[in-house]
Every structure is written in C-alpha cells, then in structure tokens.
Chain A
C-alpha cells in the first residue's frame, strides 16, 4: 500500500505541474517557473514559523504570496532598475532562496524542515506521515489531502480558463484587443504555479518541482503541436515518470523524488532522440 500512496502523490504532483508547465513553456516562462519554485521557500518557512504547522492554510498563502512577489521583483529589477532580464531572474530567486535556506538553518530544531527536505522532499517518508487520516478503513497520508485538492483546483483553473489561457499564450496582443484581462490571467497563472510548487514542495522538494513543471510538457510538445493533446500527453508522461521513478528508487535505494525527475528526463530524451533517428530515416 505504501508504494501506491507514493505513486499517487507523485502522479498528482506531476499532473498539476504538467498542466501549468505546458502554458509556462509555451509562454517562454520556463525560467520564471524555476524562479518561483525556488522563491516560495522563505514564504513557506516564515509562514511556518508563524503558524507552527506545515501544509496549513497560512503556509499556502504565505508561499503563494512570495511566489507572486518573485515575479514582481523580477519585473521591478528589469523595468525600473534597468537590469537585463536574465540577470533579474537569476538574482531575484537566488536571493529569496538564500533567505529561505538561512531561516531554515537558523531555526533548525524549531522547524520541521531541513535542508535535505528542501531539495528532496519527503515523499519517501510519506507512509510515516503523522497526520494520516483514516477514511473507509484506510489510513490516508496527509499529503494526499493537500495535493488532491490542489490538483482539482489546477484542473478547474485550466478547464475554466482554457480559452483565455490559450488565447493569451498564443497571441497576447489579440487577446488584449478583444478584451481578455491579460494581466489578471498572467497573475492567476503565476499564483497557480506558486500554489502548486508550495504543495509539491513538501513531496518532491524545490528544484525537482522544476523538472515536473518543464520536462513532461516539453516531451509532449515534441510530439504534438495541439494544445489539448499536449496537456493530456504531459499528464500521461508525468504519471509514467512517477510510476517509473518509484520503482527505480526502490531498485537503486535512492531518493524517490530525484528518481521520478530522472525518469521524466529519460522519457524526454528518448522522445527527442527517437525524433532525431526518425528524421534521419525519412
């Protein structure tokens, strides 16, 4: 049963990330996603220090706010400060991430978080989750209760906002011209990315979230041009990575989150190389 929960959590994280990541890569915002995934850390720690519990509502809100702040900070450095865009991204998120790591180190003992958990997540310890809730005779790990609703929220957001998101992704100016609230959608998307990274963070850590955000949608993008099939395929690849990663981790006795990300990378490169071989024969 433990394996089932790990794969379930991994798959839900992968699908939430894949749905949003598809829009990020099409909007050329892959690195902004990377930045947000790092920058939510101080928000998580501060909210945690105040509220005293992990994965509570204050933590979600705190982290979502820092996630949005990152995009604001990047814009500020870039537009008002006149710093080139790549450097603005590079400085903003390392700065915020550094604050987060320092806070964690300073409050080790008070905080139920450590440096390892920042990078690897806690998916391996899922079955030991203290907050498990018993439902229909099954003890369900607490992570499932945070990640499942998040996935449903993301699914709802992408489902309801699909037309607007598609329009703003492919032709932002046209979308603005016909009255779509471009800025609102942008910040909603950033907020959704923040929310997802915060929730996924607990399971897979800060940097591997980036793998889930970027790699499955990119692999799907290599296969199809159409947005809807791309979204579906991203989720399928994400789930395959979660399943494959779990067994790889068991086999190698290694970090599950890292193995899931490695498998997604292997799927990407298989598709990539297969495409190259195919084009050679054609």
Chain B
C-alpha cells in the first residue's frame, strides 16, 4: 500500500517534502490568524493571486527556479498588490472589495500572460513552473526546506517580539493608538508576514487557493477558543496536518496537484469546527440555548405550583397535569418534560400516575423564584416609576437570568418589603421550614 510506504518515510525525498509542507502549513496558519482577526481574508486572496507575475518575472530575469529569487519576486509583487489596492480604495470612490478584485484579476492576468510567454519560449528550465498555480508538494527539495526554515524563524521571531503589540493592534486599534503604539509599523509588519506566508505556501498549495491556507486554520481555531495564544497553537496544528496530508497525496498520486487536496482537508476541518467547536460552534450554541429553554421551562412549572398553592393555601398538595396546563400556555409534552427534569432534581414527586406535587425543597425553590419576580416588580414600579400593570412581563423575562449578585443587591435595596405592586405577598424564605 502506497500509504504505508509513505508513512514509513523510507524515501529521503519524502521526508524532505513532508518536513517542508508541515513547516509551511504551520507558519502560514499562524500568520493567517492575524490576517483572519484583522478581517483581511480577501486581501490575502489578492496577494496570493498577485505573487504569480513576480515569480514569472524572477524566472525570466534569472532563468532558473532558484527558491530565493522566486521568493523575492513573489514578495515584491505581493506587496505591490496591497499597496495598489489600498491606493485605489483610499483615493477614489471604488470600494475596498472591488479594488481587491481589480488588483487580483489584473495581477493574475499579467502572471498568466508571462507564464504563457515563458511556455512558448521553449526555455528548458520552465518545466514545473506551472506547479505554482495549483501547487505540487513533491516538487519541494532540500534547498526549499532550508529557505522555509529561515523564513519561518524570522516570522516566529517577529511574532514573539511583537506579540503584545499585535494583540492590542488587532483587538483594539484605537487603544493601541492612544498608548502610542506604532500602528503603521505594526500594519506594515503584519502585511509583510502575510505576504511572506503566501510566498512560501504557494510551493505546496499554489497561488489560486493559497488564501485558504491562511484563513482555513484560523477560522477553524476561532470556533474552539477565544484566546489568541491557543488559537495560534490550534491553527498551527491544523495547518501542519493539512500540509502533512498534502505531502501524502503528492506521494501517492504524483499526477495530482496538492493544493486542492490541502484545501479540501482544511475546509472539512473548518466546517467540522463550525459545527462542533466548543467556543462558538453551532452545536454548542444550540445546546446552550436548549439548556436555557429547559431551565425556563422548569422554573415556570415551579411557579405554576406556587401560584396554585397560593390560591388554595396549600403548596405541597398534588396537582393533576390538567391543573398545571390550565395555568400556562404549555402543551402536555412540554409540561411532562419539565416535570421529569424536576423529578430528577428531587424538587417534584409523582404521587400517583397523573398527580405531581412539590417536595419541600421544590417548594423552597419555587418560593425563591416568586420572591425574585415580585421583588423585581417592586423595584421597577418604585425605583423606575413604571406602572404596576406593566412590570409583570419584564419580571417574567429577567427572573431567569438574574445573577446571585444582582439578587443580593435587590434584596438589600428593597429590605423589608412584604407585598408586590399587585398586593400579593412576597414569600419570606426565612419563615419557611426547611
């Protein structure tokens, strides 16, 4: 099996390719986090398409595919594209996204024009130049990896030295300006890093899809953590995984361009993270919403028991499902779901098949809720001068989210109150038997 041959790393060429793509994936992903957080994903796309003419020109001028000349060429034309698109946006009515699209397609067209001229010229060295379009990891040689290491080291040193400044600049540019950080210099550094990362990454990913190697890992990481350091770490791992996979594909299917495979792996990781991520993933948010809904349901059922008990002056008497449903617009299944949740907390007992009663603890919990609700009503009507018949809905919403701290404040401000604005008694927890 080709996959085991690859994983055994017997072939020194394979080792080099793998080391190269892993470094490149990790570096691009780390730098990509900054690009992502600056919301400059699309300028990354412009840069990656725009390095093509630089590479072609470096080849035309030098006649070789020396990685350093290529890097310099790519770097210059990449930077030029940023300057041009900024210039267009700043000095004309053309908007940023349009100027990015203009520069991207113009530079790419120049690149394709040059590439076509080179291909028609019959220069023997040009073979393989088209790998810069869709990437070919297998074409990476030892010389390239040495260059990757140099660039990676420079990039990491810059990031470590400027870490705090970058962080401030990205998350609060106004504050960064006010404390005298050199924002223009920081912006220059970050753009330079992005151009460097792209100039490196095109060896494996190609100019067409390189922007995704910058953005994909960062986007994935942002769904797992809100902490910048952790985000850098996660995206570096994701990026190196994608790079590793690219090397593997390149070994197993030499005819295949590696770029698209790396991008597919990244996209799948990114989509998975968007759904599963523990920081702001879709499932996580959905679970949180469900948990809150359930809490509101439970609390509302406790209140139904309290209100029924208040009318008949017997809080612990068992109630039928029908009685409970009549008080509030819940259907049978919802009420049953809530009751079962309360039962497992031992706040409610099922006395007969259709009868449910508060336990002592449940009674205390329900009294707590009612107390909070009524205290809030008092607060609204007395301190904020809201009419008594308008306070109920607001209290209904706030009672589920009031923090213990706010509750304590409320208690101390309204000390000694015994009735709410509707003249109903505010339950006194101290008088309840535990």
Contact = CB atoms under 8 A, between A and B. Distances in A.
B212 A214 contact: no
A249 B101 CA distance: 23
Contacts of B130: 115-116
Contacts of B100: 30-31
Which label, helix, strand, loop or mixed, suits the secondary structure of the B interface?
Answer: helix
A77 B274 contact: yes
A210 interface: yes
B106 interface: yes
Contacts of B36: 84, 87
A171 interface: no
A90 B25 CA distance: 17
Interface in A87-128: 87, 89-91, 94-95, 97-99, 101-102, 105-106, 108, 115-116, 119-120
Contacts of B285: 82
Interface string B86-99: 00100111110111
Contact of B95 (A25, A82, A213, A275): A25
Contact of B101 (A33, A82, A116): A33
B116 A31 contact: no
B109 A95 contact: no
A61 to B, nearest CB: 24
Contacts of B166: none
Nearest to B260: A98
A84 B112 CA distance: 31
Contact of A218 (B98, B259, B263): B98
Interface stretch (A51-59, A142-150, A175-183, A259-267): A259-267
A33 B100 CA distance: 12
A192 interface: no
Interface in B30-88: 36, 39-42, 44-45, 49, 88
Contact of A105 (B223, B256, B270): B256
Centre residue among A120, A207, A269 by max chain B CB count within 10 A: A207
13 contacts: A82-B274, A84-B39, A87-B218, A89-B41, A91-B267, A95-B264, A98-B263, A207-B208, A214-B98, A221-B94, A254-B116, A255-B113, A261-B112
Leading 9 A-B pairs by shortest Cβ distance:
A265-B106, A261-B109, A211-B105, A98-B260, A258-B112, A94-B212, A255-B116, A86-B41, A95-B267
Given A91-B270, A259-B109, 16 more contacts: A25-B95, A31-B42, A81-B275, A81-B282, A82-B282, A97-B260, A99-B264, A105-B256, A119-B133, A211-B105, A214-B101, A222-B93, A254-B113, A255-B112, A268-B102, A272-B92
